Chain A
């Protein structure tokens, strides 16, 4: 493996991961990095588990990584963090949203939502727990959870030199920009 940095974004279809990866890659590109991003569309989008990988560095070849190679795992949903941690480097960081979405297996009563996820993560990995739902509600729109997490990711990766506000203005529709900037700033503070 060369020295590219690897970001793995995971969550549930419909949580706005694609928008986050779009902003992220636009920012990294502007900062002069070589960037590759890989996402899977289709079947998984119907409420299934979804992942997006973003890699950046001086030169990036592969758009995807294997197990044990992510520098940071950002999980938009709590249980998903545990599903994908195998992809993290042993010294990698988990940013986990303390937010539960029961899968259909859980909803239909066939299994219970696992307990103690955050504690189990903390035991093994450097873990940053974010209450993105609460932060999003504080800025006034639960749908901005994804941007709160973007803020937390930018902070964890120390990518604060990039003008993210400018990038968001380019990508997000005008009437939604302010609330998303507020969400982003919240995420940076957490």
Chain B
């Protein structure tokens, strides 16, 4: 059967066909749909949203040790979080096959950096496999499990946004039941003490040598020879761009098994061509190694190492061909993403935007948009968890330097479960003078509404224990002020009280994301009374896309408004009224 599938759907299908029984992940663009699609195979595969990537990797590692073929998936920066168990598991080796999917995001469509995770394979000493389209996502995954079990190594399966989110035609196969490998306690293998690790390191170096030999003849690496003087080595999505530009006009060595690199095969290919080009997206991962092996080639001297490639960039780099384009004479205004109308985060950030002498260390989620125009109520956003802990560092530094800035450390509910709890403990343990704030909108918003430990539902749709950030903060030892962030007076009171409080005090803002399905319908809307409007533009300061100026006065677009009343509360002239019910 043939079907149009995204790379992520194809990875889920590939896991099913390869006989995988265990899957764990934490959401993150562009990886999220891998596990969302895994649920389709729930008769055969247990899948979970773990609270963070480290937990997901450890769950999948445990399953592999128990004998299952397991998979964990995450976005590129998630691998940073999961790195600790991964590096050691690379030394130990597997029982059931183990694959870590890293979905990188060149061009940072939805990310805070564009790190090239292929280096993790070399760094941790694992095998690296890179598909170039959806069909290969599915087919190469089966091979990844063969490699993992044959060489006793974890496999890094690396995709990028354009692989994950592009749909192409896929020919489906059948599931191969492989069952679970037997499990028996094996202390030297799975207990990573220094004594065992010393032995494991020697072994893993040998495994790399063996894998390199294997890679030379692997079905994932193939030469498309046409007798040209030029030869191109490429992998991943860059292969598709090379084919788009050159078709059958040049010889190509297409690599799918990219660490350890098949150096004999590369040397052979190089010897057949006068000039060798390396076309790879982002860093010169292959080029560096190929040059180090003494093989002449041209790569990043021509192909950019910043942002994603496309056929046009490849043509420009290698052929110096510039595509003709035409522009039109229009002053195009930027269209950045914004907090939705009715978003509960708006009330909190509006409150912060009014405060002087205040520092807001924030974090990653929809609420990062509180740092954009016109709210601009944010000082930092680094990585998940840093909303609390970087705030702690700033608060301590202010204390030492004798400044009196008030620090609010902010993160969302999913981020709280991910890596906020340890930061909260640090604040209390080390007596941080700051206010931790959890913006609890009852869902993992930014990545498209995944369940989390606070929602009472699992990925597989089962009801489960619902954990409340308020209870957890209390259990840690904070006094907790729970507030509806869209009630601006209550929000401001809570912020003032928390700052003044003698006891360590935290705030939890509680109001669900307006996009959650199944919420009661929004019956009310806000409308502008044009008679009363004094055109002061205060209402524009809340940064709601439904509120703008039209024909000289404020105007609220009825089709967008959900009646949260934040704009109504900032209007000093009663020009915004509530209607409906």
Interface residues of A (CB under 8 A from B): 1-2, 12-13, 25-26, 29, 34-49, 60-69, 79-80, 82-83, 85-88, 90, 102-114, 116-117, 120-121, 123-125, 142
B537 CB–A CB distance under 8 Å: yes
B110: nearest chain-A partner, CB-CB:
A42
Report yes or no: A66 in contact with B340, Cβ–Cβ below 8 A: no
19 contacts between A and B (CB under 8 A): A25-B4, A29-B169, A35-B169, A38-B162, A40-B109, A41-B30, A42-B30, A43-B110, A43-B337, A45-B448, A46-B337, A48-B338, A61-B244, A83-B335, A104-B338, A106-B333, A107-B544, A107-B548, A108-B548
Contacts of A40 in B (CB 8 A): 109-110, 161, 165
| B: interface residue count bin | 35 or more
Contacts of A39 in B (CB 8 A): 165-166
B168 CB–A CB distance under 8 Å: yes
Q: Interface centre among A36, A79, A114, by most B CB within 10 Å? A: A36
Report yes or no: A79 in contact with B312, Cβ–Cβ below 8 A: no
Contacts of B311 in A (CB 8 A): 1, 62, 64-66, 69
Partner of B109, one of A42, A62, A83, A120: A42
Q: Check A124/B325 contact, CB under 8 A, given A46-B369, A107-B545.
A: no
Interface residues of B (CB under 8 A from A): 4, 29-30, 32, 109-110, 133, 161-162, 165-169, 237, 240-241, 243-245, 247, 310-313, 315, 323-340, 366, 369, 372-374, 446-448, 537, 540-541, 543-545, 547-549, 559
Contacts of B446 in A (CB 8 A): 42-43
Q: Interface centre among B29, B374, B545, by most A CB within 10 Å? A: B545
Report yes or no: A64 in contact with B29, Cβ–Cβ below 8 A: no
B312: nearest chain-A partner, CB-CB:
A66
A112 to chain B, nearest CB (A): 8
Besides A61-B244, A82-B330, 20 new A-B residue pairs in contact (Cβ under 8 A), listed by A number: A37-B168, A38-B166, A43-B110, A44-B110, A44-B337, A47-B335, A48-B338, A65-B312, A66-B323, A67-B323, A69-B323, A79-B330, A80-B335, A88-B326, A103-B334, A108-B374, A110-B373, A112-B333, A114-B331, A121-B330
Q: Check A102/B548 contact, CB under 8 A, given A63-B166, A67-B323, A83-B332.
A: yes
Q: Check A42/B243 contact, CB under 8 A, given A26-B4, A66-B310, A88-B326.
A: no
A17 to chain B, nearest CB (A): 13
Q: Check A64/B310 contact, CB under 8 A, given A42-B446, A69-B323.
A: yes
Partner of A79, one of B30, B244, B324, B332: B332
A142: nearest chain-B partner, CB-CB:
B559
Report yes or no: B247 in contact with A2, Cβ–Cβ below 8 A: yes
CA distance A38 to B237 in the complex (A): 12
Q: Which 5 A-B pairs have the closest CB atoms?
A: A66-B312, A42-B110, A63-B166, A42-B29, A68-B323
A107: nearest chain-B partner, CB-CB:
B548
Report yes or no: B332 in contact with A38, Cβ–Cβ below 8 A: no
A48 to chain B, nearest CB (A): 4
Contacts of B447 in A (CB 8 A): 42
Q: Interface centre among B161, B323, B333, by most A CB within 10 Å? A: B333
Contacts of B448 in A (CB 8 A): 41-42, 45
B559: nearest chain-A partner, CB-CB:
A142
Contacts of A36 in B (CB 8 A): 166-168
Q: Check A47/B30 contact, CB under 8 A, given A42-B110, A102-B548.
A: no
Partner of A117, one of B330, B335, B559: B330
Report yes or no: A47 in contact with B332, Cβ–Cβ below 8 A: no
Q: Check A1/B245 contact, CB under 8 A, given A44-B109, A61-B240, A66-B312.
A: yes
Report yes or no: B110 in contact with A41, Cβ–Cβ below 8 A: yes
A70 to chain B, nearest CB (A): 10
CA distance A68 to B313 in the complex (A): 12
B267 to chain A, nearest CB (A): 27
Contacts of A47 in B (CB 8 A): 335, 337-338, 340, 545
Report yes or no: A66 in contact with B313, Cβ–Cβ below 8 A: yes
Q: Check A67/B162 contact, CB under 8 A, given A49-B335, A61-B240.
A: no
Partner of A48, one of B247, B335, B537, B543: B335
Report yes or no: A68 in contact with B324, Cβ–Cβ below 8 A: yes
B333 to chain A, nearest CB (A): 5
Q: Check A69/B327 contact, CB under 8 A, given A83-B332, A106-B333, A109-B549.
A: no
Report yes or no: A37 in contact with B4, Cβ–Cβ below 8 A: yes
Report yes or no: B545 in contact with A104, Cβ–Cβ below 8 A: yes
Contacts of B329 in A (CB 8 A): 120, 123
CA distance A39 to B324 in the complex (A): 24
